[in-house]
Amino acid sequence: MLEVTKNAPQKAITQLGEAFKRFFKGEANYPKFKKKGIHDSFGITNDQFVLNDTLNRIRIPRLGWVRLQESLRFNGKILSATISRQANKWFISIAVQIDDYSHLRKAENQGVVGVDLGISSLATLSNGEVITGSKPLKTLISRLKKLSKSLSRKQQDSSNWYKAKAKLATLHARISNVRKDTLHKLTSNLTRRFSIIGIEDLNVKGMLSNGKLARSIADMGFYEFKRQLQYKAQMRGNLIVIADKWYPSSKTCSACGGIKQDLTLKDRVFKCECGHVQNRDLNAAINLANYAVSYTV
């Protein structure tokens, strides 16, 4: 207790109280103990650290001055900081209260776009654009299996076991960073270009129950896409229209409005009785754009 800052146990008790509040509200499960070596982190209040923007460094209690890779990019009241470890790298996340978002440009036009998420391509826009996902897990799955197999062959808690564990954690972090980078670029591009964006509230948990597609679905990061899009739209003043998870965006004809009940996952081309033929994902994206327009009306 005396070797670390007093904020470490104090912040942990505060977070435990918030976890119990969410548990009693039914928003989360019963709190679990953190295990050393997994999601290592601790928080410090704004009166316990000093930030020096000129020299790009921060003074942390019991550690002293620590260099930063980049300076603080936001102006506002500093609330707190969280120091965490990812693989063999340490990060500090500084919470800043920002009331003015005037530095962010508004959407370039007042246009409406529908975004249909998929597996073969990350997103299909109603204007015909197709964004191919990076699929980092699929790209690095062979190396991931090799490192996992190497770790399983080491004696637990030995020096070689910790080395193999660090290599595996570094690869997992790289996969996660590549996925987040792709999603950040896509969501920033959408909120910068369009003022109204229509998306679908996907049943990700139900989709992951499909054993054949679970890995590909998880590799895309649908929930992270929705989370990033919502907070970036709020900062820029965009409107996000979320269709219900049971909205038949793929089964509805974008030309006549008829619903094709016998549409399956194998059908990549939508063919309607009215004669309308279109790519399945593009058809769904156009329906989401029309849904967003009708919602605003």
Residues with a catalytic annotation lie at 116, 200, 281
Partnered with residue 157 across adjacent β-strands are: none
Question: For residues 56 and 73, is the Cβ–Cβ distance under 8 A?
Answer: no
Q: Indicate the helix (H) or strand (E) that contains 234.
A: helix 222-236
> How many angstroms separate the Cα of 232 from the Cα of each of 74, 75, 202?
15, 18, 19
For residues 239 and 195, the answer to whether their CB atoms sit within 8 Å is yes
Neighbouring residues of 161: CB distance < 8 A, sequence distance ≥ 6 = 151, 154, 155
| SS3 at position 202 | coil
Asked if 58 and 49 touch (Cβ cutoff 8 Å), the reply is: yes
Tokens of 77: 């009241």
| Structure-block tokens of residue 151 | 């770790």
